[in-house]
């Protein structure tokens, strides 16, 4: 069987003659990198920086170029290797928005002018703040605004997850499209809501002593738990919800809404956020990083007495998902997937004196746009050449992704109504240029002229109803 090994930006080909078991538990994950399950179940995992196998029999094990960087051996299109920008914590202190590196708890970015900020939430590539009645969408990397919406003077709660931002304003729970900053869902009756968090497909609120789990798509309750009158802080990440109640940090299973962990001594906690494997709290002027699994302290930083807002998020992937093989000589890398709601006309019925009377009305349909970098190459390319082509496609996808996000964000922010379609068009145009320049440079260095001249990339999109 043929295998490929990805080291930094190079994809190496090898042939395994041994009959090797290929399913292992993940023993080590290099910081700032993650591995998702192989589609075919053919996974090689690593202990420290070396391939882990009881026989150490892989060809790459004795090749020093693989020692200084996380490596793996798998079927090339069955595994997803992706580089992350890492986990960051965002705080507002004394009018300054400060971006903190999660590993070091040291500032890596700042922006001033946030004295009047009242709410903050973060998700993926963006940080959202409400300041002087304006909802402002900030690029999480540059800390520069990329979108705005007004009319949020009365907003009291905010959370963000994925492609949506959730706010409570004047007793109404409002679901906002994160791309357009336009409302796509509403639910009333939240005047007494005091806390809110969001993660994945759910929004969690505390109202009148009840912890309520809401389906993020329908904005309908799907779970409840009582006894939360004294809850003061809430955060959510993955399969868990974290709350502070009567000085106790309580970790709740998000599915059952039952406690699965506790820690005491948090009477003076004023802020809390959660992301990935960590929970962050500010207590008595100290920023504290907790292991989400054990609820034990793993880091701290002082000087946060004046911090008034906090959120945390894993930044977006720099390298998008792996290539999808479409046939001999063709594969694709996903650059971006965007979903949005679009109204359509339909017929509704109203009961009038026992009769169902039809009348025209509108519904909402979710549309999805997927943007790919498509690579085409001669089918007769050797396995080694194919590995080089795939490696060049990964590099080109990084460049295309960055260009797409920049152009898309700028266009949607400047277009009335959000302009998703215009944003996608601008993003594709920018991605085409950046991806092609990057790919052409890579292929010239790594492929023979005959193969390189017949190998190229293009940006394509697919649209469908969700």
Q: What is the pLDDT of residues 263-320, one digit of tens each?
A: 999 999 999 999 988 999 999 999 999 999 999 999 999 999 999 999 998 764 444 4
The answer, yes or no, to whether residue 418 has pLDDT greater than 90, is: no
The last residue of one of the domains, among 260, 286, 314, is 314
The answer, yes or no, to whether residue 83 has pLDDT greater than 60, is: no
Average pLDDT over residues 211-230: 95
Cα 228 to the center of its chain, rounded Å: 29
Q: Tell whether 207 and 156 lie within a shared domain.
A: yes
What DSSP string runs through 419-463? -HHHHHHHHHHHHHHHHHHHHHHHHHHHS-HHHHTT-EEEEEEEE
Packing angle, helices 420-446 and 383-414, rounded to 10: 150
pLDDT in tens, 36-81: 333 233 333 332 233 333 222 223 222 222 222 232 322 222 222 3
Of residues 62 and 333, which shows the higher confidence score?
333
Q: Tell whether 365 and 284 lie within a shared domain.
A: no
Q: Tell whether 263 and 183 lie within a shared domain.
A: yes
Q: Tell whether 159 and 43 lie within a shared domain.
A: no
The last residue of one of the domains, among 25, 54, 83, is 83
pLDDT at site 157: 97
pTM above 0.75, yes or no: no
Q: Tell whether 156 and 180 lie within a shared domain.
A: yes
Of residues 129 and 34, which shows the higher confidence score?
129
The last residue of one of the domains, among 63, 83, 103, is 83
Q: Tell whether 288 and 145 lie within a shared domain.
A: yes
Angle subtended at Cα 52 by Cα 48 and Cα 58, rounded to the nearest 5 degrees = 125
Q: Tell whether 272 and 304 lie within a shared domain.
A: yes
Of residues 320 and 400, which shows the higher confidence score?
400
What single DSSP character describes residue 409?
Answer: H
Q: Tell whether 258 and 126 lie within a shared domain.
A: yes
Residue 339 structural domain: 318-466
Q: Tell whether 276 and 346 lie within a shared domain.
A: no
pLDDT at site 366: 78
User: In percent, how much of the chain has pLDDT > 70?
Assistant: 78
Cα distance between residue 129 and residue 117, in whole Å? 7
Q: Residue 267 is encoded by which pair of tokens?
A: 């009477």
What single DSSP character describes residue 322?
Answer: P
Q: Tell whether 10 and 153 lie within a shared domain.
A: no
> What three-state secondary structure class fits 319?
coil
Cα distance between residue 422 and residue 401, in whole Å? 17
pLDDT at site 420: 84
Summary mean pLDDT of the chain: 79
In the chain, how many domains are there?
3
Q: Tell whether 269 and 154 lie within a shared domain.
A: yes
Q: Tell whether 74 and 110 lie within a shared domain.
A: no
pLDDT at site 415: 66
pLDDT at site 86: 67
> What three-state secondary structure class fits 393?
helix
In this structure, are residues 298 and 330 in contact, taking their beta carbons and an 8 Å threshold? no
Cα-trace Rg, the chain: 25
Q: Residue 66 is encoded by which pair of tokens?
A: 């693989």
pLDDT in tens, 101-117: 888 898 888 999 999 99
The answer, yes or no, to whether residue 256 has pLDDT greater than 90, is: yes
Q: Could you tell me the CATH number of the domain that includes residue 286?
A: 2.130.10.10
Please choose, from the candidates 180, 166, 182, the residue with its C-alpha nearest in 3D space to the C-alpha of residue 215: 166
């Amino acid at each position: 069987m043929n295998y490929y090994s990805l080291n930094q930006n190079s994809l190496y080909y090898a042939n395994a003659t041994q009959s090797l078991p290929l399913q292992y538990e993940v023993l080590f994950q290099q910081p700032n990198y993650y591995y998702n399950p192989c589609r075919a179940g053919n996974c090689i995992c690593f202990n420290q920086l070396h391939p882990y196998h009881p026989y150490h029999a892989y060809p790459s094990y004795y090749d020093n170029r693989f020692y200084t960087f996380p490596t793996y051996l798998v079927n090339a299109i069955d595994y997803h290797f992706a580089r992350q920008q890492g986990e960051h914590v965002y705080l507002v202190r004394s009018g300054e928005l400060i971006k903190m590196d999660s590993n070091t708890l040291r500032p890596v970015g700042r922006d001033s002018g946030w004295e009047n900020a009242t709410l903050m939430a973060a998700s993926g590539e963006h940080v959202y703040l409400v300041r002087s009645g304006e909802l402002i969408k900030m690029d999480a990397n540059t800390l520069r605004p990329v979108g705005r919406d007004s009319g949020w003077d009365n907003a009291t709660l905010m959370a963000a997850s994925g492609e949506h931002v959730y706010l409570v304003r004047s007793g109404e729970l409002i679901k906002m499209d994160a791309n357009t900053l336009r409302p796509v869902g509403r639910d009333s009756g939240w005047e007494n809501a005091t806390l809110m968090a969001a993660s994945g497909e759910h929004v969690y609120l505390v109202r009148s002593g009840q912890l309520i789990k809401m389906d993020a798509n329908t904005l309908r309750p799907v779970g409840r738990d009582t006894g939360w009158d004294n809850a003061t802080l809430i955060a959510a990440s993955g399969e868990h919800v974290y709350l502070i109640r009567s000085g106790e940090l309580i970790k709740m299973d998000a599915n059952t809404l039952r406690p699965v962990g506790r820690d005491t001594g948090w009477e003076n906690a004023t802020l809390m956020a959660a992301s990935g494997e960590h929970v962050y709290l500010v207590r008595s002027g100290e920023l504290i990083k907790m292991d989400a699994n054990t609820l034990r302290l793993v880091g701290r930083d002082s000087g946060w007495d004046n911090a008034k807002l906090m959120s945390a998020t894993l930044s977006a992937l720099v390298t998008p998902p792996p290539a999808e093989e479409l046939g001999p000589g063709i594969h694709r890398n996903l650059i971006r997937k965007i979903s949005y709601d679009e109204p359509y006309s339909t017929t509704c019925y109203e009961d009038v004196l026992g009769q169902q009377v039809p009348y025209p009305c509108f519904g909402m349909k979710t549309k999805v746009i997927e943007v790919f970098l498509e690579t085409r190459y001669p089918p007769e390319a050797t396995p080694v050449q194919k590995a080089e082509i795939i490696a060049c496609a990964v590099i080109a996808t990084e460049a295309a992704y960055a260009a797409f996000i920049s152009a898309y964000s700028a266009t949607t922010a400047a277009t009335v109504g959000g302009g998703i379609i215009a944003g996608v068009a601008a993003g594709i145009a920018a991605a085409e240029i950046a991806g092609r320049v990057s790919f052409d440079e890579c292929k010239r260095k790594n492929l023979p002229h005959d193969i390189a001249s017949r190998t190229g990339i293009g940006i394509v999109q697919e649209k469908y109803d969700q």
